[in-house]
Amino acid sequence: MIKIFSDTKIVKLLELLNTSKYIAIVTHINPDGDAIGSVIGWSNFLRERGFRPVIIVPNHFPDFLKWINGTESIYVYFNQKDTCERLLRETDLLFCLDFNKLSRLEAMGEFIMTLDIKKVLIDHHIGVEEEDFTLTLSKTPMSSTCEIVYRIIWQITNKKRVSPRIAEALYVGIMTDTGAFTHSCSPELFRIVADLMECSIIREKIHSAVYNSFSVNRMRLMGYCITKMEVLPEYRTAYITLTKEELDQFEFEPGDTEGFVNIPLSIKGVVLSIFFTESKDGYIKLSLRSVGEFSVDSMARRHFNGGGHKNASGGKSFISLDETVAFFKSILPEYRELKNED
């Protein structure tokens, strides 16, 4: 396996670990499979080396990830603010996984910015704000943060095998961040997946737990989204919108819309898909996906206060849902590479 970080960085990581007593691990708001998989995988690795890290997430994560061994001990800042802030104040070393800047943690990130603690970033997103961190272990070409965690463990231990608890969590993150191995998959990644499968995990059980355990409301919501999907063939684009009232109608739970943004990309000729969700926090959340060479990262950065990866990004809009959609349509002519000139 090819080293993705210098020996100097790995030595620095070990120095930070060995000079720290209280360790915390955090990830971004609205944690997904890669976020939860990476914090659980990294936490279990540290525990096996004698550390006792705590995991804190900004808000709730989807039910279809709660079967992963270790999620029961995760603290949720939204519900346990006083406890989480006490734990963060006590922290000597903070691991920041699967995000590129502290603002991705919203209110919890604002609190962390007031603390004078060492911070290590492990991530694969574009646009890392390196000044926020003591040490950055970031590689944007990687499929997922879970892939990076596995590679770091391998560089530290020089062993491909990890415990089943670590392997299971990392497999979840890799599987979900690659869309069940449909994108961002290098030959090296499949070698890593093979290594994880040899660590006594049950691939079929993991896939079923993540993809075959949805509620009736979630399935009905998906059908509703398909019926109201709008297609703009002249720009090879499709989009879906959901208002707060529509989410309430289907008794929305965190994670219920996971993957919906990918549905329009199944349509022949569509290369750009946008999913607009009206948040209860007063903004419009955007998920952007593309296939091929079109970069949704640049679109999200330029127009929607966001970013991420070339083919998978997120953003926010602080005008109404109707105004956001109208603005989105107004900028499409700027992107000549989207135009269908057949």
pLDDT, tens digit, for every residue of 147-176? 999 999 999 999 999 999 999 999 999 999
Please check whether the domain covering 7-210 is classified as CATH 3.30.365.10.
Answer: no
In the chain, which ranges are E strands?
23-27, 54-57, 75-76, 93-97, 118-123, 135-138, 230-232, 237-242, 272-278, 284-290, 307-308, 312-317
Please determine, for residue 2, whether its predicted confidence score (pLDDT) is greater than 80.
yes
Grade residue 308 by pLDDT with cuts at 50, 70 and 90: confident
Task: Find the mean pLDDT for residues 6-15.
Answer: 97
pLDDT at 342: 63
Beta strand 272-278 with 307-308: parallel, antiparallel or unpaired?
Answer: unpaired
Q: Which numeric CATH code is attached to 216-338?
A: 3.10.310.30
Task: Find the mean pLDDT for residues 8-31.
Answer: 97
Grade residue 254 by pLDDT with cuts at 50, 70 and 90: confident
Q: Which residues contact 303 (CB under 8 A, 6 or more apart)?
A: 315, 327, 328, 331
Distance CA 11, CA 135 (A): 11
pLDDT at 281: 82
pLDDT, tens digit, for every residue of 174-216? 999 998 998 889 999 999 999 999 999 999 999 999 999 989 9
Over pLDDT 90: what percentage of the chain? Answer: 89
Please determine, for residue 30, whether its predicted confidence score (pLDDT) is greater than 70.
yes
pLDDT, tens digit, for every residue of 208-222? 999 999 899 999 999
Please determine, for residue 286, whether its predicted confidence score (pLDDT) is greater than 70.
yes
Residue 216 tokens, joined: 């009736």
Mean per-residue pLDDT over the chain, rounded: 95
pLDDT at 35: 98
Q: Which helix (H) or strand (E) holds 204?
A: helix 203-211
Boundaries of every domain in the chain = 7-210, 216-338
Please, are residues 32 and 3 in contact by the beta-carbon 8 Å criterion?
no
Grade residue 1 by pLDDT with cuts at 50, 70 and 90: confident
Over pLDDT 70: what percentage of the chain? Answer: 100
Please determine, for residue 298, whether its predicted confidence score (pLDDT) is greater than 80.
yes
Grade residue 334 by pLDDT with cuts at 50, 70 and 90: very high
